[in-house]
Amino acid sequence: RERRERGEGEERAGREERAERAEREERERVERAAREAAKAEREAADRADREARKLEEREIEQARRMAEAEAKRSIKARQMSDSKVAGAAAVAAVVDENAEEGESDTELSFSSLVTSKRLKRSQNRR
């Protein structure tokens, strides 16, 4: 009887020990899964942040390029305007010069046309 009780006691102790071990292993498994989930979440957030920064940098670069292109267009338009004003002034000077010399309207028109064409050619060479 004593042996039987001792056997049952050892059996009960073994069952309790196995139950505690199973409980401990389950708790460790849950904790490990929670750590892995937190790590995956941090990595996903880091990836999202990097992608957002890349997108922002691309948008900034695109805006910079557009601003540079607009500045170039503005400069070119100003230069063309300046050259047209200079050309008109040169033609007016020739017309004035021809008028002072008393050339006829036909000669004046032809002279202005030749001067105008020469000016255009010289501006195109620039």
| 32-36, 55-59, 74-78, 122-126: range with lowest mean pLDDT | 122-126
HSE-up (13 A, CA, CB side) for residue 66: 6
Phi-psi region of 102 (alpha: psi -120 to 50; beta: other; left: phi over 0): left
Q: What is the pLDDT of residue 102?
A: 58
**Residue 103 near residue 111, CB atoms below 8 Å:** yes
CB atoms within 10 A of CB 112: 16
Residue range(s) defining the domain that contains residue 81: 2-125
pLDDT at 106 over 50: no
Q: Over 80: is that where the pLDDT of 41 sits?
A: yes
Each residue's pLDDT tens digit, 53-85:
999 999 999 999 999 999 998 888 888 777 777
Domain total in the chain: 1
| Gap between the Cα atoms of 11 and 68, Å rounded | 85
Q: pLDDT for 9-27, tens place per residue?
A: 788 888 889 999 999 999 9
29 pLDDT more than 70: yes
CB-CB contact of 116 with 95 (8 Å): no
pLDDT of residue 49: 96
Asked if 94 and 112 count as a contact pair (C-beta separation under 8 A), the reply is yes
